[in-house]
Protein backbone atom coordinates (compact mmCIF):
# COMPACT_ATOMS: atom_id res chain seq x y z
CA UNK A 1 0.00 0.00 0.00
CA UNK A 2 1.10 3.57 -0.70
CA UNK A 3 0.02 6.43 1.58
CA UNK A 4 0.57 9.90 0.14
CA UNK A 5 0.32 12.77 2.60
CA UNK A 6 -0.38 16.41 2.00
CA UNK A 7 2.93 17.67 3.29
CA UNK A 8 2.91 21.24 1.99
CA UNK A 9 1.04 23.66 -0.23
CA UNK A 10 3.26 22.71 -3.16
CA UNK A 11 2.46 18.95 -2.76
CA UNK A 12 4.69 16.23 -3.99
CA UNK A 13 4.18 15.13 -7.57
CA UNK A 14 2.81 11.64 -6.79
CA UNK A 15 0.28 13.04 -4.30
CA UNK A 16 -0.89 15.54 -6.88
CA UNK A 17 -1.02 12.93 -9.65
CA UNK A 18 -3.29 10.75 -7.54
CA UNK A 19 -5.36 13.70 -6.35
CA UNK A 20 -6.09 14.63 -9.95
CA UNK A 21 -6.68 11.07 -11.24
CA UNK A 22 -10.15 11.77 -12.63
CA UNK A 23 -11.46 11.60 -16.17
CA UNK A 24 -12.57 15.21 -15.83
CA UNK A 25 -9.31 17.14 -15.66
CA UNK A 26 -11.05 20.19 -14.18
CA UNK A 27 -10.40 18.96 -10.63
CA UNK A 28 -11.76 20.87 -7.66
CA UNK A 29 -9.41 22.61 -5.23
CA UNK A 30 -9.88 20.05 -2.47
CA UNK A 31 -6.90 18.43 -0.75
CA UNK A 32 -7.15 15.23 1.31
CA UNK A 33 -4.85 14.82 4.30
CA UNK A 34 -3.92 11.41 2.96
CA UNK A 35 -4.43 9.40 -0.21
CA UNK A 36 -4.40 5.64 0.35
CA UNK A 37 -3.61 3.58 -2.75
CA UNK A 38 -4.86 0.25 -1.40
CA UNK A 39 -4.05 -3.24 -2.63
CA UNK A 40 -5.68 -5.51 -0.02
CA UNK A 41 -8.50 -5.75 2.48
CA UNK A 42 -5.98 -5.04 5.23
CA UNK A 43 -5.00 -1.81 3.44
CA UNK A 44 -8.65 -0.75 3.30
CA UNK A 45 -9.10 -1.46 6.98
CA UNK A 46 -5.94 0.52 7.74
CA UNK A 47 -7.33 3.49 5.78
CA UNK A 48 -10.55 3.39 7.80
CA UNK A 49 -8.54 3.22 11.04
CA UNK A 50 -6.37 6.16 9.96
CA UNK A 51 -9.45 8.23 9.18
CA UNK A 52 -10.79 7.57 12.66
CA UNK A 53 -7.48 8.44 14.31
CA UNK A 54 -7.18 11.67 12.31
CA UNK A 55 -10.82 12.65 12.71
CA UNK A 56 -11.05 12.75 8.93
CA UNK A 57 -13.90 11.88 6.55
CA UNK A 58 -13.56 9.28 3.80
CA UNK A 59 -14.07 9.50 0.05
CA UNK A 60 -13.65 6.46 -2.22
CA UNK A 61 -12.59 6.35 -5.88
CA UNK A 62 -12.62 3.37 -8.21
CA UNK A 63 -12.40 4.74 -11.75
CA UNK A 64 -12.60 8.51 -11.38
CA UNK A 65 -15.63 8.96 -13.63
CA UNK A 66 -17.44 11.21 -11.17
CA UNK A 67 -17.21 14.46 -13.12
CA UNK A 68 -17.73 16.59 -9.99
CA UNK A 69 -14.95 14.69 -8.15
CA UNK A 70 -17.24 13.80 -5.23
CA UNK A 71 -14.71 11.45 -3.67
CA UNK A 72 -12.31 14.35 -3.14
CA UNK A 73 -12.86 15.62 0.42
CA UNK A 74 -10.79 18.51 1.72
CA UNK A 75 -8.74 17.40 4.75
CA UNK A 76 -10.25 13.94 4.41
CA UNK A 77 -8.93 10.54 3.39
CA UNK A 78 -9.15 9.50 -0.26
CA UNK A 79 -9.19 5.71 -0.69
CA UNK A 80 -8.12 4.85 -4.23
CA UNK A 81 -9.02 1.24 -5.10
CA UNK A 82 -7.20 1.13 -8.47
CA UNK A 83 -5.03 -1.82 -7.39
CA UNK A 84 -7.61 -3.71 -5.30
CA UNK A 85 -8.72 -7.11 -6.66
CA UNK A 86 -7.87 -5.92 -10.18
CA UNK A 87 -8.86 -9.23 -11.74
CA UNK A 88 -11.90 -11.18 -12.93
CA UNK A 89 -12.46 -14.72 -11.65
CA UNK A 90 -14.98 -17.25 -12.94
CA UNK A 91 -16.59 -20.19 -11.12
CA UNK A 92 -17.51 -22.80 -13.77
CA UNK A 93 -19.88 -24.53 -11.34
CA UNK A 94 -22.02 -21.56 -10.28
CA UNK A 95 -21.27 -19.61 -13.51
CA UNK A 96 -20.62 -16.54 -11.35
CA UNK A 97 -17.86 -14.03 -11.92
CA UNK A 98 -16.19 -11.96 -9.22
CA UNK A 99 -14.14 -8.83 -9.66
CA UNK A 100 -12.73 -5.83 -7.83
CA UNK A 101 -14.10 -2.27 -7.83
CA UNK A 102 -11.46 -0.85 -10.18
CA UNK A 103 -11.85 -3.46 -12.94
CA UNK A 104 -12.69 -1.49 -16.08
CA UNK A 105 -15.52 -2.28 -18.47
CA UNK A 106 -13.11 -3.28 -21.23
CA UNK A 107 -11.23 -5.60 -18.85
CA UNK A 108 -14.48 -7.21 -17.73
CA UNK A 109 -15.63 -7.62 -21.32
CA UNK A 110 -12.37 -9.26 -22.38
CA UNK A 111 -12.55 -11.70 -19.46
CA UNK A 112 -16.13 -12.62 -20.34
CA UNK A 113 -15.21 -13.24 -23.98
CA UNK A 114 -12.56 -15.74 -22.90
CA UNK A 115 -15.15 -17.84 -21.06
CA UNK A 116 -17.94 -17.21 -23.60
CA UNK A 117 -20.28 -15.72 -20.98
CA UNK A 118 -22.31 -12.50 -20.67
CA UNK A 119 -22.78 -10.03 -17.79
CA UNK A 120 -24.36 -6.60 -18.45
CA UNK A 121 -21.39 -4.34 -17.79
CA UNK A 122 -21.35 -0.68 -18.74
CA UNK A 123 -20.94 0.88 -22.17
CA UNK A 124 -17.92 3.13 -21.65
CA UNK A 125 -14.73 1.03 -21.73
CA UNK A 126 -12.88 3.05 -19.08
CA UNK A 127 -15.62 3.09 -16.42
CA UNK A 128 -14.76 1.04 -13.31
CA UNK A 129 -17.02 -1.56 -11.72
CA UNK A 130 -17.22 0.06 -8.28
CA UNK A 131 -18.94 3.27 -9.31
CA UNK A 132 -20.95 1.51 -12.00
CA UNK A 133 -22.45 -1.01 -9.55
CA UNK A 134 -22.98 1.43 -6.67
CA UNK A 135 -24.86 3.76 -9.01
CA UNK A 136 -27.15 0.91 -10.09
CA UNK A 137 -25.59 0.12 -13.42
CA UNK A 138 -27.13 1.21 -16.72
CA UNK A 139 -25.63 -1.84 -18.37
CA UNK A 140 -26.16 -3.49 -21.72
CA UNK A 141 -29.72 -4.37 -22.73
CA UNK A 142 -31.53 -2.52 -19.95
CA UNK A 143 -34.92 -2.94 -21.69
CA UNK A 144 -34.56 -6.69 -21.18
CA UNK A 145 -32.85 -6.97 -17.80
CA UNK A 146 -33.16 -3.61 -16.12
CA UNK A 147 -30.34 -2.10 -14.11
CA UNK A 148 -27.37 -4.41 -13.58
CA UNK A 149 -27.99 -4.52 -9.81
CA UNK A 150 -31.58 -5.63 -10.37
CA UNK A 151 -31.00 -9.22 -11.48
CA UNK A 152 -27.28 -9.75 -11.93
CA UNK A 153 -25.31 -8.74 -8.83
CA UNK A 154 -25.54 -11.55 -6.28
CA UNK A 155 -23.12 -10.58 -3.54
CA UNK A 156 -20.77 -7.82 -2.39
CA UNK A 157 -17.79 -7.62 -0.04
CA UNK A 158 -17.76 -4.35 1.88
CA UNK A 159 -15.59 -2.79 4.57
CA UNK A 160 -17.99 -0.89 6.80
CA UNK A 161 -17.14 2.18 8.94
CA UNK A 162 -16.28 0.01 11.96
CA UNK A 163 -13.51 -1.60 9.92
CA UNK A 164 -15.29 -4.94 9.65
CA UNK A 165 -15.41 -6.95 6.41
CA UNK A 166 -19.00 -7.87 5.64
CA UNK A 167 -20.56 -9.97 2.92
CA UNK A 168 -23.82 -8.43 1.69
CA UNK A 169 -26.43 -10.36 -0.27
CA UNK A 170 -30.14 -11.16 -0.21
CA UNK A 171 -29.47 -13.52 2.70
CA UNK A 172 -26.53 -11.86 4.51
CA UNK A 173 -26.66 -8.27 5.73
CA UNK A 174 -29.62 -7.75 3.38
CA UNK A 175 -30.11 -4.14 4.48
CA UNK A 176 -26.53 -3.31 3.49
CA UNK A 177 -27.03 -5.10 0.17
CA UNK A 178 -30.19 -3.10 -0.48
CA UNK A 179 -28.51 0.24 0.29
CA UNK A 180 -25.33 -0.42 -1.69
CA UNK A 181 -27.21 -1.01 -4.94
CA UNK A 182 -28.05 2.55 -5.96
CA UNK A 183 -26.30 4.62 -3.27
CA UNK A 184 -23.60 5.97 -5.56
CA UNK A 185 -21.52 8.73 -4.02
CA UNK A 186 -23.58 8.51 -0.81
CA UNK A 187 -22.55 4.97 0.13
CA UNK A 188 -21.25 4.51 3.67
CA UNK A 189 -18.61 1.82 3.13
CA UNK A 190 -15.83 0.69 0.81
CA UNK A 191 -16.81 -1.85 -1.83
CA UNK A 192 -13.95 -4.32 -2.25
CA UNK A 193 -15.40 -7.15 -4.36
CA UNK A 194 -18.50 -7.93 -6.44
CA UNK A 195 -20.07 -11.22 -7.52
CA UNK A 196 -22.46 -11.51 -10.44
CA UNK A 197 -24.29 -14.21 -12.37
CA UNK A 198 -23.64 -14.80 -16.06
CA UNK A 199 -25.43 -16.42 -19.00
CA UNK A 200 -24.06 -18.01 -22.18
CA UNK A 201 -22.76 -15.44 -24.63
CA UNK A 202 -24.53 -14.57 -27.85
CA UNK A 203 -23.47 -12.20 -30.63
CA UNK A 204 -23.95 -8.44 -30.81
CA UNK A 205 -25.61 -7.17 -33.97
CA UNK A 206 -26.03 -3.46 -34.67
CA UNK A 207 -27.40 -1.00 -37.18
CA UNK A 208 -27.12 2.78 -37.29
CA UNK A 209 -28.79 5.76 -38.92
CA UNK A 210 -27.75 9.37 -39.29
CA UNK A 211 -30.03 12.30 -40.09
CA UNK A 212 -29.37 15.94 -40.89
CA UNK A 213 -31.48 17.64 -38.22
CA UNK A 214 -32.33 20.83 -40.16
CA UNK A 215 -35.72 21.93 -38.72
CA UNK A 216 -36.90 18.43 -37.90
CA UNK A 217 -35.61 17.92 -34.35
CA UNK A 218 -39.01 17.46 -32.68
CA UNK A 219 -40.20 15.07 -35.37
CA UNK A 220 -36.93 13.11 -35.33
CA UNK A 221 -37.02 12.82 -31.55
CA UNK A 222 -40.62 11.68 -31.49
CA UNK A 223 -40.19 9.13 -34.27
CA UNK A 224 -36.96 7.67 -32.87
CA UNK A 225 -38.12 7.54 -29.23
CA UNK A 226 -41.50 6.07 -30.22
CA UNK A 227 -39.90 3.52 -32.54
CA UNK A 228 -37.53 2.39 -29.79
CA UNK A 229 -40.60 1.53 -27.70
CA UNK A 230 -41.91 -0.76 -30.47
CA UNK A 231 -38.82 -2.97 -30.60
CA UNK A 232 -39.24 -6.26 -28.70
CA UNK A 233 -37.53 -5.99 -25.33
CA UNK A 234 -35.48 -9.12 -25.65
CA UNK A 235 -31.77 -8.50 -25.86
CA UNK A 236 -32.20 -5.12 -27.56
CA UNK A 237 -31.27 -1.54 -26.78
CA UNK A 238 -31.15 1.83 -28.53
CA UNK A 239 -29.26 5.08 -28.17
CA UNK A 240 -30.21 8.35 -29.84
CA UNK A 241 -27.60 11.08 -29.96
CA UNK A 242 -27.00 14.53 -31.40
CA UNK A 243 -23.65 16.01 -32.34
CA UNK A 244 -21.92 18.36 -34.73
CA UNK A 245 -20.34 16.36 -37.57
CA UNK A 246 -17.27 18.59 -37.19
CA UNK A 247 -16.51 16.98 -33.81
CA UNK A 248 -14.73 14.23 -35.77
CA UNK A 249 -12.73 16.59 -38.01
CA UNK A 250 -9.02 15.84 -37.34
CA UNK A 251 -8.07 19.27 -38.72
CA UNK A 252 -9.99 21.10 -35.98
CA UNK A 253 -8.50 21.48 -32.52
CA UNK A 254 -10.67 24.16 -30.95
CA UNK A 255 -13.94 23.92 -28.99
CA UNK A 256 -15.88 26.42 -31.13
CA UNK A 257 -19.41 25.59 -32.20
CA UNK A 258 -19.33 25.27 -36.01
CA UNK A 259 -20.81 28.02 -38.14
CA UNK A 260 -23.27 27.24 -39.54
CA UNK A 261 -24.19 24.81 -36.75
CA UNK A 262 -25.74 21.91 -38.67
CA UNK A 263 -26.51 19.15 -36.20
CA UNK A 264 -26.76 15.46 -36.93
CA UNK A 265 -29.01 13.03 -35.08
CA UNK A 266 -27.80 9.47 -34.91
CA UNK A 267 -29.51 6.23 -33.88
CA UNK A 268 -27.54 3.21 -32.75
CA UNK A 269 -29.62 0.05 -32.33
CA UNK A 270 -28.32 -3.24 -30.99
CA UNK A 271 -29.61 -6.79 -30.62
CA UNK A 272 -27.95 -9.57 -28.64
CA UNK A 273 -28.91 -12.62 -30.65
CA UNK A 274 -27.74 -15.98 -31.98
CA UNK A 275 -28.14 -15.17 -35.67
CA UNK A 276 -28.28 -12.21 -38.00
CA UNK A 277 -31.80 -13.21 -39.06
CA UNK A 278 -33.00 -13.08 -35.45
CA UNK A 279 -31.40 -9.65 -34.99
CA UNK A 280 -32.97 -8.34 -38.19
CA UNK A 281 -36.40 -9.44 -36.98
CA UNK A 282 -35.89 -7.83 -33.57
CA UNK A 283 -34.72 -4.51 -35.05
CA UNK A 284 -37.22 -4.43 -37.93
CA UNK A 285 -39.33 -1.54 -36.50
CA UNK A 286 -36.47 0.75 -37.53
CA UNK A 287 -37.18 -0.05 -41.19
CA UNK A 288 -40.21 2.26 -41.24
CA UNK A 289 -38.91 5.80 -41.64
CA UNK A 290 -41.66 8.38 -42.26
CA UNK A 291 -41.64 9.93 -45.72
CA UNK A 292 -41.31 13.39 -44.19
CA UNK A 293 -37.97 12.43 -42.59
CA UNK A 294 -36.46 10.50 -45.48
CA UNK A 295 -34.95 13.59 -47.19
CA UNK A 296 -32.94 14.15 -43.97
CA UNK A 297 -31.21 10.78 -44.14
CA UNK A 298 -27.42 11.04 -44.30
CA UNK A 299 -26.50 7.41 -43.75
CA UNK A 300 -28.16 4.04 -43.10
CA UNK A 301 -26.41 0.79 -42.31
CA UNK A 302 -27.74 -2.75 -42.45
CA UNK A 303 -27.85 -5.08 -39.47
CA UNK A 304 -24.42 -6.64 -39.04
CA UNK A 305 -22.35 -8.33 -36.36
CA UNK A 306 -20.07 -6.12 -34.26
CA UNK A 307 -17.28 -7.15 -31.92
CA UNK A 308 -17.01 -5.72 -28.43
CA UNK A 309 -13.72 -4.12 -29.41
CA UNK A 310 -15.36 -2.35 -32.35
CA UNK A 311 -18.16 -1.16 -30.08
CA UNK A 312 -15.71 0.27 -27.54
CA UNK A 313 -13.87 2.08 -30.34
CA UNK A 314 -17.15 3.82 -31.22
CA UNK A 315 -17.68 4.74 -27.58
CA UNK A 316 -14.16 6.14 -27.36
CA UNK A 317 -14.83 8.28 -30.42
CA UNK A 318 -18.10 9.69 -29.05
CA UNK A 319 -17.02 10.10 -25.42
CA UNK A 320 -13.22 10.05 -25.50
CA UNK A 321 -10.85 9.75 -22.58
CA UNK A 322 -8.31 12.40 -23.53
CA UNK A 323 -5.62 14.07 -21.46
CA UNK A 324 -6.73 17.62 -20.71
CA UNK A 325 -10.41 17.02 -21.50
CA UNK A 326 -12.89 18.74 -19.20
CA UNK A 327 -16.41 17.46 -18.64
CA UNK A 328 -19.85 18.27 -17.43
CA UNK A 329 -22.87 16.00 -17.59
CA UNK A 330 -26.48 17.06 -17.12
CA UNK A 331 -29.35 14.60 -17.23
CA UNK A 332 -32.90 13.68 -16.30
CA UNK A 333 -34.96 10.53 -15.97
CA UNK A 334 -38.26 11.80 -17.39
CA UNK A 335 -41.58 11.19 -15.69
CA UNK A 336 -43.10 8.29 -17.70
CA UNK A 337 -46.60 9.78 -17.34
CA UNK A 338 -45.69 12.77 -19.52
CA UNK A 339 -46.93 12.38 -23.11
CA UNK A 340 -44.05 11.68 -25.48
CA UNK A 341 -44.81 14.61 -27.81
CA UNK A 342 -44.73 16.98 -24.85
CA UNK A 343 -41.46 15.52 -23.61
CA UNK A 344 -39.84 15.76 -27.05
CA UNK A 345 -40.75 19.43 -27.33
CA UNK A 346 -39.32 20.13 -23.86
CA UNK A 347 -35.94 18.47 -24.46
CA UNK A 348 -35.16 20.04 -27.83
CA UNK A 349 -32.88 22.71 -26.28
CA UNK A 350 -30.93 20.05 -24.36
CA UNK A 351 -30.34 18.12 -27.57
CA UNK A 352 -29.61 21.09 -29.86
CA UNK A 353 -27.92 23.88 -27.88
CA UNK A 354 -24.66 21.98 -27.50
CA UNK A 355 -22.12 24.37 -25.94
CA UNK A 356 -19.00 23.16 -27.76
CA UNK A 357 -18.01 21.37 -30.95
CA UNK A 358 -17.08 18.31 -28.88
CA UNK A 359 -20.36 18.04 -26.93
CA UNK A 360 -22.94 15.28 -27.38
CA UNK A 361 -26.65 14.97 -26.59
CA UNK A 362 -27.76 11.48 -25.65
CA UNK A 363 -30.97 9.52 -25.08
CA UNK A 364 -30.57 5.97 -23.82
CA UNK A 365 -33.85 4.10 -24.26
CA UNK A 366 -33.66 2.06 -21.05
CA UNK A 367 -37.33 1.13 -20.54
CA UNK A 368 -37.30 -0.35 -17.07
CA UNK A 369 -39.12 0.29 -13.82
CA UNK A 370 -37.05 -0.77 -10.84
CA UNK A 371 -38.30 -2.36 -7.63
CA UNK A 372 -37.55 0.06 -4.80
CA UNK A 373 -38.19 -2.70 -2.26
CA UNK A 374 -35.36 -4.79 -3.71
CA UNK A 375 -32.69 -2.10 -4.03
CA UNK A 376 -32.16 1.64 -3.70
CA UNK A 377 -32.00 2.20 -7.46
CA UNK A 378 -35.77 2.68 -7.63
CA UNK A 379 -36.58 5.61 -9.92
CA UNK A 380 -38.36 4.77 -13.19
CA UNK A 381 -36.00 4.80 -16.15
CA UNK A 382 -37.98 4.91 -19.36
CA UNK A 383 -35.46 7.15 -21.07
CA UNK A 384 -32.16 8.46 -19.78
CA UNK A 385 -31.70 11.93 -21.31
CA UNK A 386 -28.31 13.59 -20.95
CA UNK A 387 -25.87 16.04 -22.47
CA UNK A 388 -22.12 15.52 -22.24
CA UNK A 389 -20.40 18.89 -22.45
CA UNK A 390 -16.74 18.48 -23.39
CA UNK A 391 -14.04 21.10 -23.81
CA UNK A 392 -10.27 21.54 -23.77
CA UNK A 393 -9.95 25.33 -23.56
CA UNK A 394 -9.70 26.29 -19.88
CA UNK A 395 -10.53 29.91 -20.70
CA UNK A 396 -14.17 28.85 -21.22
CA UNK A 397 -14.46 28.32 -17.47
CA UNK A 398 -16.34 28.95 -15.28
CA UNK A 399 -19.14 30.24 -17.51
CA UNK A 400 -19.40 27.11 -19.62
CA UNK A 401 -20.88 25.22 -16.67
CA UNK A 402 -23.97 27.42 -16.68
CA UNK A 403 -24.93 26.93 -20.32
CA UNK A 404 -26.30 23.40 -20.14
CA UNK A 405 -27.02 23.50 -16.40
CA UNK A 406 -29.51 26.33 -17.02
CA UNK A 407 -31.01 24.42 -19.94
CA UNK A 408 -31.64 21.34 -17.81
CA UNK A 409 -33.06 23.45 -14.97
CA UNK A 410 -35.88 24.32 -17.39
CA UNK A 411 -36.74 20.65 -17.95
CA UNK A 412 -36.49 19.40 -14.36
CA UNK A 413 -40.30 19.76 -14.06
CA UNK A 414 -40.55 16.92 -16.60
CA UNK A 415 -38.29 14.65 -14.55
CA UNK A 416 -39.08 11.79 -12.21
CA UNK A 417 -35.53 12.40 -11.01
CA UNK A 418 -31.91 12.05 -12.02
CA UNK A 419 -29.48 9.17 -12.34
CA UNK A 420 -27.40 9.43 -9.18
CA UNK A 421 -24.11 9.03 -11.06
CA UNK A 422 -24.75 12.44 -12.67
CA UNK A 423 -25.98 14.30 -9.59
CA UNK A 424 -23.72 17.24 -8.77
CA UNK A 425 -23.94 18.39 -5.14
CA UNK A 426 -22.20 21.63 -6.09
CA UNK A 427 -24.92 22.69 -8.56
CA UNK A 428 -27.72 24.34 -6.57
CA UNK A 429 -30.07 23.98 -9.54
CA UNK A 430 -30.17 20.26 -8.82
CA UNK A 431 -31.12 20.66 -5.15
CA UNK A 432 -34.76 19.75 -5.80
CA UNK A 433 -34.17 16.87 -8.20
CA UNK A 434 -34.66 13.38 -6.77
CA UNK A 435 -32.02 10.68 -7.06
CA UNK A 436 -34.08 8.15 -5.07
CA UNK A 437 -37.75 7.58 -4.40
CA UNK A 438 -39.20 8.95 -1.16
CA UNK A 439 -39.32 5.40 0.19
CA UNK A 440 -35.69 4.87 -0.82
CA UNK A 441 -34.46 8.06 0.85
CA UNK A 442 -36.16 7.25 4.14
CA UNK A 443 -34.95 3.66 4.25
CA UNK A 444 -31.41 4.58 3.18
CA UNK A 445 -31.03 7.17 5.95
CA UNK A 446 -32.18 4.62 8.53
CA UNK A 447 -29.69 2.00 7.33
CA UNK A 448 -26.88 4.53 7.04
CA UNK A 449 -27.41 5.69 10.63
CA UNK A 450 -27.09 2.05 11.77
CA UNK A 451 -23.77 1.40 10.03
CA UNK A 452 -22.16 4.86 10.15
CA UNK A 453 -23.44 6.74 13.21
CA UNK A 454 -20.23 8.82 13.35
CA UNK A 455 -20.67 9.94 9.72
CA UNK A 456 -17.28 8.77 8.56
CA UNK A 457 -18.66 8.81 5.00
CA UNK A 458 -20.23 12.28 4.56
CA UNK A 459 -21.32 12.39 0.92
CA UNK A 460 -24.90 11.38 1.79
CA UNK A 461 -25.48 14.77 3.44
CA UNK A 462 -26.07 16.66 0.20
CA UNK A 463 -28.74 14.18 -0.86
CA UNK A 464 -30.35 14.19 2.58
CA UNK A 465 -30.47 17.99 2.54
CA UNK A 466 -31.99 17.98 -0.94
CA UNK A 467 -34.57 15.43 0.20
CA UNK A 468 -35.50 17.57 3.20
CA UNK A 469 -35.86 20.59 0.92
CA UNK A 470 -38.14 18.64 -1.40
CA UNK A 471 -40.28 17.44 1.49
CA UNK A 472 -40.57 20.99 2.83
CA UNK A 473 -41.62 22.30 -0.59
CA UNK A 474 -44.57 19.87 -0.59
CA UNK A 475 -45.97 21.19 2.70
Question: Could you say which of 162, 181, 199 is where a domain stops?
Answer: 199
205 CB-near residues (< 8 Å, 6+ apart): 270, 271, 272, 273, 276, 279, 280, 283, 303, 304, 305, 306
Residue 93 above 90 pLDDT? yes
Query: What mean pLDDT is predicted for residues 243-247?
Result: 93
CA nearest neighbour of 147 among 372, 433, 352, 412: 372
Looking at the 3D structure of the chain, how many domains does it have?
2
Whole-angstrom distance, CA of residue 166 vs CA of residue 160: 7
Whole-angstrom distance, CA of residue 82 vs CA of residue 293: 47
CB 169 within 8 A of CB 60: no
Q: Examine the domain organization and report whether 164 and 301 are in the same domain.
A: no
* Integer angstrom CA distances of residue 257 from 253, 298, 393, 405: 12, 21, 13, 18
Q: Examine the domain organization and report whether 327 and 423 are in the same domain.
A: yes
Question: Could you say which of 199, 231, 258 is where a domain stops?
Answer: 199
What CATH number does residue 418 fall under? 3.40.462.20
Q: Examine the domain organization and report whether 188 and 240 are in the same domain.
A: no
Q: Quick one: what percent of the chain has pLDDT higher than 70? A: 97
Residue 377 lies in a domain: yes
Q: Examine the domain organization and report whether 208 and 165 are in the same domain.
A: no
Q: Examine the domain organization and report whether 247 and 354 are in the same domain.
A: yes
Report residue 149: phi and psi, to 5°. Answer: -75, -10
How are beta strands 264-273 and 203-212 bridged, if at all? antiparallel
pLDDT tens readout for residues 362-409? 999 999 988 999 999 999 999 999 999 999 999 999 999 999 999 999
pLDDT value, residue 471: 55
Q: Examine the domain organization and report whether 179 and 236 are in the same domain.
A: no
Where does the pLDDT of residue 230 fall: very low under 50, low under 70, confident under 90, or very high at 90 and above?
very high
pLDDT value, residue 421: 95
What CATH number does residue 135 fall under? 3.30.465.10
Where does the pLDDT of residue 248 fall: very low under 50, low under 70, confident under 90, or very high at 90 and above?
confident
Whole-angstrom distance, CA of residue 190 vs CA of residue 418: 24
Where does the pLDDT of residue 467 fall: very low under 50, low under 70, confident under 90, or very high at 90 and above?
low
Q: Examine the domain organization and report whether 230 and 328 are in the same domain.
A: yes
Residue 280 above 70 pLDDT? yes
Residue 7 above 80 pLDDT? no
Q: Examine the domain organization and report whether 175 and 290 are in the same domain.
A: no
Residue 78 lies in a domain: no
Whole-angstrom distance, CA of residue 430 vs CA of residue 420: 11
Residue 384 belongs to domain spanning: 203-430
Q: Examine the domain organization and report whether 403 and 288 are in the same domain.
A: yes
pLDDT value, residue 88: 98
Q: Examine the domain organization and report whether 237 and 332 are in the same domain.
A: yes
pLDDT tens readout for residues 119-141? 999 999 999 999 999 999 999 99
Residue 52 lies in a domain: no
Residue 347 lies in a domain: yes
Residue 234 lies in a domain: yes
Question: Could you say which of 199, 222, 251 is where a domain stops?
Answer: 199
pLDDT tens readout for residues 33-86? 999 999 999 999 999 999 999 999 999 999 999 899 999 999 999 999 999 999
Where does the pLDDT of residue 8 fall: very low under 50, low under 70, confident under 90, or very high at 90 and above?
low
Q: Examine the domain organization and report whether 227 and 252 are in the same domain.
A: yes
Residue 437 lies in a domain: no
pLDDT tens readout for residues 205-225? 999 999 999 899 999 999 999
Residue 150 lies in a domain: yes
Count of CB atoms situated within 10 Å of the CB of 53: 8
pLDDT value, residue 475: 43
pLDDT tens readout for residues 291-307? 999 999 999 999 999 99
pLDDT value, residue 464: 85
Whole-angstrom distance, CA of residue 423 vs CA of residue 134: 14
Residue 15 lies in a domain: no
CB 44 within 8 A of CB 190: yes
Q: Examine the domain organization and report whether 303 and 404 are in the same domain.
A: yes
pTM: 0.94
pLDDT tens readout for residues 160-189? 999 999 999 999 999 999 999 999 989 999
Mean pLDDT of the chain: 94
18 CB-near residues (< 8 Å, 6+ apart): 4, 35, 37, 78, 80
Q: Quick one: what percent of the chain has pLDDT higher than 90? A: 88
Amino acid sequence: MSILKRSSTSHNSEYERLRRAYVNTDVREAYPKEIHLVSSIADVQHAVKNARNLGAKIGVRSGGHSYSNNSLINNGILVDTSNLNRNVDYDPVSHEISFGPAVRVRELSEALQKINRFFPHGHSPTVAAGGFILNGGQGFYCPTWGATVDQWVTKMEIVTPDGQVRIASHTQNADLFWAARGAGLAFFGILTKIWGRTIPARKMFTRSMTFDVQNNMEDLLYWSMHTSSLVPKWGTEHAIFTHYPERFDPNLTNDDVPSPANLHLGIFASAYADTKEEAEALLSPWNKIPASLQPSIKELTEVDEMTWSQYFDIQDAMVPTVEGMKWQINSILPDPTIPLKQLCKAIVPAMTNLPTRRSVGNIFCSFFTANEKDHLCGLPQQYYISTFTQWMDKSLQPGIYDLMADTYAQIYPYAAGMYIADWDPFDKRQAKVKVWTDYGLKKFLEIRAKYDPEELFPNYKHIAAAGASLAQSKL
